[in-house]
Amino acid sequence: KMSSVMSMVRPTTNGCAAAAAGTTATATLLAKQLNAALANGKTAAAMNITTAATPTVPKQPLQAAKIIQQSHIVCFDVDSTVIIEEGIDELAEFCGKGSEVARVTKEAMGGSMTFQDALKIRLNIIRPTQQQVTDFIKQRPSTLSRNIKRFIGQLKADGKQVFLISGGFDCLIAPVATELGIPLTNMYANKMLFDYKGDYDSFDTTQPTSRSGGKAEAIGMIRQRQSASASDVLITMIGDGATDLEAVPPANNFIGYGGNVVRAEVYRRAQYYITDFEQLMHA
């Protein structure tokens, strides 16, 4: 994700105790209202923001829930949407390369390189072995976002197809898909390649999500997989980032998600925006 991160919010999920309390909670609320102010082109002073701030206001959540009801296929971004973490940043930190990778990410956010170049440079810094990836998955399991498991359970019960589309890596996302009961054939993500000794070699540049505009390409592929007339299938994309927003078209609708990270540009441009998946379960 290359768009600017305005705030990081790590909610209590799956019974994990929230480490943040007191001043952290206040700072989080303040950051969220600042995001809303920036998204609307207003200064903090104009909004009279104080520490008694209110959370980011959802945009048309009832209409968004109706769109979900009408959709045949619902696609999710993974990092900061289905899970609260950003996988490649967590892996970099685990491998002792966090600060180096953060510098490249900042450059990439400035638009000085393509998504694929940024991915290549970051992985060449981390150079994780297969063993490190295995240890990372065991020692740092991803944390599901609040209410995502219930929401996906409802989607499946309603007969909808669910897909994960990520610029992250399949080896990190597969355990998440399994926990949510999503077939691995319904996952579009990047693939790390290792040599015969298990050392990092490169990544598969043929995967659509390894490129700019890759999420839209993946949704085009999903549409072509359907037995019904492609134009009759309603697809909705849910995510926190600009790359998710830009998946329409070929997706029919986009719903922004700000339960973990609020990105001012996405909040401003999204017609529909929610901060908790429960908001999509009551049309």
Q: Where are the beta strands (DSSP E) in the chain?
A: 73-76, 161-169, 187-190, 192-194, 200-203, 235-239, 253-257, 272-274
Catalytic status, residue 232:
no
Bridge partner list, 200: 194
Sign of the Cα torsion 187, 259, 87, 17 reads negative
Structure tokens belonging to residue 115: 């998504």
Structure tokens belonging to residue 201: 């070699």
Give me the catalytic one of 79, 170, 240, 276: 79
Angle at CA 17, nearest 5°, toward 163 and 240? 35
Distance CA 214, CA 227 (A): 23
Catalytic status, residue 195:
no
Give me the catalytic one of 77, 170, 240, 244: 77
Bridge partner list, 193: 202
As annotated, the active-site residues are 77, 79
